[in-house]
Amino acid sequence: MKVRVEVDGLVDRIRTKDVIAGVVGLGYVGLPLACELAAAGYRVLGFDISEETVSGVNRGESHIRDVPSSTLASVLGPEGLEATSDMSRLVECDTISICVPTPLGKTRDPDVSYVAAAASAVAQVLRPGQLIVLESTTYPGTTRDLVLPILEESGLEVGRDFFLCFSPERVDPGNPTWTTKNTPKVIGGITPSCLEAGEALYGEVIERVVPVSSTEAAELTKLLENTFRSINIALVNEMAQVADRLGVDVWEVIDAAATKPFGFMKFVPGPGIGGHCIPLDPHYLVWKMKMLDYKTRMVELATEINAEMPRFVVNKIQDGLNRHRRSVAESRILILGVAYKRDIDDVRESPALDVIRLLAERGAEIRYHDPYVPVLEEDGIRRESVPLTDEELSAADCVVITTDHSTVDYERVVRLAPLVVDTRNATRGIEGGDIVGLGGNGTEEREGRREEGLPTALMTAGG
Ligand SMILES: NC(=O)c1ccc[n+]([C@@H]2O[C@H](COP(=O)([O-])OP(=O)(O)OC[C@H]3O[C@@H](n4cnc5c(N)ncnc54)[C@H](O)[C@@H]3O)[C@@H](O)[C@H]2O)c1
């Protein structure tokens, strides 16, 4: 009976907004969630180990592009959101959502030390009636095998004294349509009462909550979603290389295939994969399955194909420069866009960084422009974004479009740059200039195929 009393009491208090909601980790995932909780009428304590992040949030200055400072400022205050680095204040929280990073270690194995540290901080203050939800992307079994034992060191029992769930975050930075609030949220609990408490909390904040039968099912759901993306991106990246050799425009082919109203989903090629999810998450699954003596062949092959893309891009740059009788070593190369995707400021795992590294190893003089990333510090080198002036464009031997930010005038880029390597098809439809595409879609490809005397059908398919 005690179980029901605990969970019923918590659920009732969640529904009447009579709880304090805690969010641990105020990054891309945690800050939007904290703001949604506050906007839904909860008092929210946001925890972060970074003093800079905490003081910024408390000043109403958002460090996350998807959370405008005006939105943050509107939910700050004693009845709304307050940030703190004092982890002992976790005791004040009735619900605690953990949104800390899950990177890879040096050997590309999962680094769950942030999750363990956050769980330990919670364990120090754990008290009856608290709901803990892990949101960080991780391998199946983390909630039960890593987090639960840490929490149980308190002597409290899960499903009776406290409640534990896993609910993967699905935030898509820069997506104006799908936000934390309207993206359905999957959740699994260690026990049925855990799930009941978790569903109650997210049901107040998120439009649709999707319960699953276990924390492992919720953990694997997230990894299925992200390996699905990784594999499909690898397929179109491979198709770009196929089309390149055939002299067929891969973008045209993808657009044509996408007219099929069923059984096809559009993915586009690029210089590689980036961000905190797609390049990392498959490794979590691969690692876990290795422990269970299973080789996830398709997942690993996709990772391999995607990882090779920066090299393919550099080969394209090399070929383009060759036609201009220049070597990479004596060239000035302007990288256009270093964020891992359009209109965001996140450079984590960005393939542009790999392209820069490979070009720098070959001796190129590298400059970059990114309206969202004023400073870039990589491999101990600090670079500053240069203004995209006419002089900058014409002084470059090659301009490489690594990220297709929508604020850039690509017509001007093509007009002024002596050579453009376009990995995103940002120059589609622009006439003139010397453009090298990723998959049989640049002017260079069209000319080259013509010289080789390929059939007209293949020639005109380019660009
Ligand atoms: N960024 C995305 O698009 C995205 C999308 C879906 C899921 N995820 C997953 O969500 C998790 C968080 O990712 P993110 O992008 O928000 O990371 P982030 O680096 O933007 O934010 C994490 C925050 O946690 C703080 N932190 C680290 N350890 C802490 C601790 N012990 N206590 C309190 N704060 C701590 C950091 O200072 C940082 O501010 C990861 O597992 C990631 O895979 C991210």
How do beta strands 81-84 and 43-47 pair? parallel
- pLDDT value at 460 more than 50: no
> What are the φ and ψ backbone dihedral angles of 261, each rounded to 5 degrees?
-75, -5
User: What are the pocket residues of ligand 1 if the criterion is a CB atom closer than 6 Å to any ligand atom?
Assistant: 24-30, 47-50, 53, 99-102, 114, 117-118, 136-137, 169-171, 173, 275-277
The whole-angstrom separation of Cα 123 and Cα 111 is 20
Instruction: Identify the three-state secondary structure at position 304.
Output: helix
Please tell me the predicted confidence (pLDDT) of residue 432. Answer: 87
Using alpha carbons, select from 267, 200, 257 the residue that is nearest to residue 228: 267
Share of the chain above pLDDT 70, in %: 95
What's the gap in Å between 116 CA and the centre of ligand 1?
13
209-266 confidence digits (pLDDT tens)? 999 999 999 999 999 999 999 999 999 999 999 999 999 999 999 999 999 999 999 9
Q: Whose alpha carbon is nearest atom 36 of ligand 1? A: 25
Mutate to test the pocket of ligand 1, among 23, 24, 29 (most ligand atoms within 8 A of CB): 29
Q: How far apart are CA 205 and CA 231, in angstroms?
A: 32
A 10 A CB-CB count for 358 gives 18
Separation of CA 437 and ligand 1 centre (Å): 35
If you measure from the C-alpha of residue 29 to the centroid of ligand 1, how many angstroms do you get, rounded to a whole number?
Answer: 6
- CA of 99 from ligand 1 middle (Å) equals 5
pLDDT digits (tens, 9 = 90+) for 180-207: 999 999 999 999 999 999 999 999 999 9
Amino acid type, 96:
I
**In Å, how far are 69, 146, 177 from 26, measured between CA atoms?**
14, 22, 22
CA 359 from centroid of its chain's CA atoms: 25
Number of neighbouring beta carbons within 10 Å of residue 324: 12
Order of strands across the sheet that contains 435-437 = 365-369, 332-336, 398-401, 420-422, 435-437
Q: Which of 96, 169, 170, 273 to mutate to test the pocket of ligand 1 (most atoms within 8 A of CB)?
A: 169
192-205 and 2-15 are packed helices; what angle lies between their axes, rounded to 10 degrees?
A: 0
Q: For residue 211, what is the enclosing H or E element? A: strand 209-212
Strand runs labelled E in 284-442: 332-336, 365-369, 375-378, 381-384, 398-401, 420-422, 435-437
pTM: 0.91
| Catalytic residue selected from 35, 93, 194, 277 | 277
Chain centre distance of CA 197: 28
**Ligand 1 atom 43, closest CA:** 137
Contact 404, 370 (CB under 8 A): no
Q: How many CB atoms lie within 10 A of CB 287?
A: 16
**Ligand 1 atom closest to the CA of 172, numbered from 1:** 3
Q: Using most ligand atoms within 8 A of CB, pick from 23, 47, 48, 62 the residue to mutate for ligand 1.
A: 48
Supply the pLDDT for residue 459: 31
Query: What spacing in Å lies between the alpha carbon of 232 and ligand 1's midpoint?
Result: 25
pLDDT digits (tens, 9 = 90+) for 156-169: 999 999 999 999 99
d(CA 85, CA 99): 14
Average pLDDT over residues 370-382: 94
Q: How far apart are CA 434 and CA 446, in angstroms?
A: 11
53 Cα to the center of ligand 1, angstroms = 12
**277 noted as active-site residue:** yes
